[in-house]
Structure 1
Amino acid sequence: MINLLPSLKFSDSGNFFLMSGPCAIEGEEMALRIAEKIVQITDKHRIPYIFKGSYRKANRSRIDSFTGIGDEKALKILSRIGREFGIPTVTDIHAAEEAEMSAAYVDVLQIPAFLCRQTDLLIAAANTGKVINIKKGQFLSSGSMKFAVDKVKDSGNEKVILTDRGNTFGYQDLIVDFRGIPEMKSFGVPVVMDCTHSLQQPNQTSGVTGGKPELIETIAKAAIAVGADGLFIETHPEPENAKSDGANMLHLTLLENLLVKLVRIRQAVT
């Protein structure tokens, strides 16, 4: 991460880095509140931190699901968070034409798992010169993600991160194969474990994705133990009232205790 984001605080600490924040930007006050709390925690424990928030949710089960507060409004909130707290920010993009627009506001562009094979999207993201975080498709092997990495690097951008978020297991569940972390690290890029989306339970008959947040700690501990460079954890002060993915987010009050445990594991295995 030192070469990818030179401004990332504590990148020499030996800790894993953290991508964390709400699933979606629901409003300025909420986003600032979450960012301030996580910055306090990560500064205290010297954990490099990247604020995460989606400016728009394009992949929804139902047409009446929350998608966002407006692209420009949400992106400006992300930009403000980056400036006020002096931290990098990351958001997802969904189409090639969104890459340049989003790059004007954030430091890292994230490619959603379902779109990780979209060549035009990967090339457009690469051409911005930003760090590109590619989420592994639930339908792909870890080994096949080398081709996604190659698309970005062959476009002239060496700044790539890969994020695992589990594999489709039947119709309504996901399972994490931790062998994928060292396999993807062999491509010469940092590898992140998405500890919240990997616990989703999609395709519920209600049209609202379920989840198992009680297992976030289990997934996170295992990921650090096998060498993950970073963790992706969506968090919210009121997950039950979150407008997107509340069923699998970590309650904000639980974050520090979890990170303390994970820092100890990191120290033990390095």
Structure 2
Amino acid sequence: MINQIPRIRNTDTNNFFLMAGPCAIEGEDMALRIAERIVMITEKLKIPFIFKGSYRKANRSRSDAFTGIGDEKALKILAKVGSEFGIPTVTDIHESHEAAMAACYVDVLQIPAFLCRQTDLLIAAAETGKTVNIKKGQFLSASSMEFAVEKVRDSGNSNIILTDRGNTFGYQDLIVDFRGIPEMRSFGVPVVMDCTHSLQQPNQPNGITGGKPGLIATIAKAAIAVGADGLFIETHPDPLNAKSDGANMLHLDSLEHLLEKLIRIRQAIM
């Protein structure tokens, strides 16, 4: 279900695929080091891999929060990661005019959850011809995402991924309804579970989003068990000092062991 993504290495067509990397592009050296490590792990385990990194963070709780190192600079780093390791890359876009710009550098355009109903944004992403990864809004049911899929398809692009990232539960928490994974798969698109953002605890009194990274493995295992096609995991060698979303990221040193467990679950349900 992911053959439409250029350069993806289908080393094991029975395996899930992985979208992983830092929350934001913090610099070239950091991005290359993270990518190199994940490439080594995924090639060893025969997991198709897409490198993830936001070139700019538009949705921040506080005005003094880190938003990026500069659009063009970050996008060029993403392009370098893709060319140096021969892997596809994905980044978020936030406004319609960003679609064509980002499409010059990456293989997959990601629509943030808060923006998944923005018709003009979805159409602009679709018209680039790139694969479009639409994150399900925290405020929407799984069934509602069929309309987002239709908007992209009606624009002439059938290369679509849907990503679940939980549902709002009260004011400062999220909960995952795993019934949504098979429901969204019924739309004929690959479905990904965002194992890190679904554990965020937004709207904290200090203006810094919290998280529950200790449950990343739990969310990932459950997602694979119910048939998710892929996993989205933000990872960093030093989450506590990451410039964005460190509170809910997986430590890079923990990634390989987790993926090994997930492969065994995947094999058990095949």
TM bin, normalised by shorter chain, reads over 0.9
Query: Once the 2 structures are TM-superposed, how far is the Cα of residue 3 of structure 1 from its aligned partner?
Result: 2.9
Q: Which residue of 1 aligns with 2:28?
A: 28
Please list the CA deviations of residues 139-167 of structure 1 after superposition, one character each: whole Å capped at 9, or x if unmatched.
Answer: 00000000000000000000000000000
Partner secondary structure for residue 13 of structure 1? coil
Q: Which residue of 2 aligns with 1:132?
A: 132
Q: Which residue of 2 aligns with 1:114?
A: 114
Q: Which residue of 1 aligns with 2:78?
A: 78
1:180-191 matches, within 5 Å, as 180-191=180-191
1:102-251 matches, within 5 Å, as 102-251=102-251
Whole-angstrom distance in 1 between the partners of 2:70 and 2:111: 19
Partner secondary structure for residue 14 of structure 2? coil
Query: Once the 2 structures are TM-superposed, how far is the Cα of residue 6 of structure 1 from its aligned partner?
Result: 4.7
Asked if structure 2 preserves the Cα contact closer than 8 Å seen for 1:45 and 1:260, the reply is yes
Query: Once the 2 structures are TM-superposed, how far is the Cα of residue 13 of structure 1 from its aligned partner?
Result: 3.2
Partner secondary structure for residue 96 of structure 1? coil
Asked if structure 1 preserves the Cα contact closer than 8 Å seen for 2:53 and 2:78, the reply is yes
Partner secondary structure for residue 263 of structure 2? helix
Query: Once the 2 structures are TM-superposed, how far is the Cα of residue 5 of structure 1 from its aligned partner?
Result: 1.6
Asked if structure 2 preserves the Cα contact closer than 8 Å seen for 1:224 and 1:266, the reply is yes
Letter of the structure 2 residue corresponding to residue 56 of structure 1: R
Query: Once the 2 structures are TM-superposed, how far is the Cα of residue 2 of structure 1 from its aligned partner?
Result: 4.1
Asked if structure 1 preserves the Cα contact closer than 8 Å seen for 2:236 and 2:249, the reply is yes
Whole-angstrom distance in 2 between the partners of 1:127 and 1:11: 29
Runs of 4+ in 1 over 3 A off after TM superposition: none
Whole-angstrom distance in 1 between the partners of 2:65 and 2:220: 28
Count of residues paired in the alignment: 270
Q: Which residue of 1 aligns with 2:64?
A: 64
Partner secondary structure for residue 97 of structure 2? helix
Partner secondary structure for residue 232 of structure 1? strand
Q: Measured at CA, do residues 2 and 145 of structure 1 come closer, stay the same or move farther in structure 2, by a change above 3 Å?
A: closer
Asked if structure 1 preserves the Cα contact closer than 8 Å seen for 2:5 and 2:108, the reply is no
Whole-angstrom distance in 1 between the partners of 2:6 and 2:70: 30
Whole-angstrom distance in 2 between the partners of 1:2 and 1:235: 22
Letter of the structure 2 residue corresponding to residue 183 of structure 1: E
Query: Once the 2 structures are TM-superposed, how far is the Cα of residue 10 of structure 1 from its aligned partner?
Result: 2.4
Query: Once the 2 structures are TM-superposed, how far is the Cα of residue 200 of structure 1 from its aligned partner?
Result: 0.1
Whole-angstrom distance in 2 between the partners of 1:88 and 1:12: 16
Whole-angstrom distance in 1 between the partners of 2:70 and 2:6: 30
Return the TM-score normalized by structure 1. 0.99
Partner secondary structure for residue 244 of structure 2? coil
Q: Which runs of 5+ in 2 are unaligned?
A: none
Whole-angstrom distance in 1 between the partners of 2:13 and 2:43: 11
Letter of the structure 2 residue corresponding to residue 40 of structure 1: M
Q: Which residue of 1 aligns with 2:261?
A: 261
Letter of the structure 2 residue corresponding to residue 224 of structure 1: I
Whole-angstrom distance in 1 between the partners of 2:204 and 2:6: 42
Please list the CA deviations of residues 39-98 of structure 1 after superposition, one character each: whole Å capped at 9, or x if unmatched.
Answer: 000000000000000000000000000000000000000000000000000000000000
Q: Which residue of 1 aligns with 2:19?
A: 19
Return the TM-score normalized by structure 2. 0.99
Whole-angstrom distance in 1 between the partners of 2:204 and 2:174: 13
Letter of the structure 1 residue corresponding to residue 75 of structure 2: L
Letter of the structure 2 residue corresponding to residue 157 of structure 1: N
Asked if structure 2 preserves the Cα contact closer than 8 Å seen for 1:2 and 1:11, the reply is no
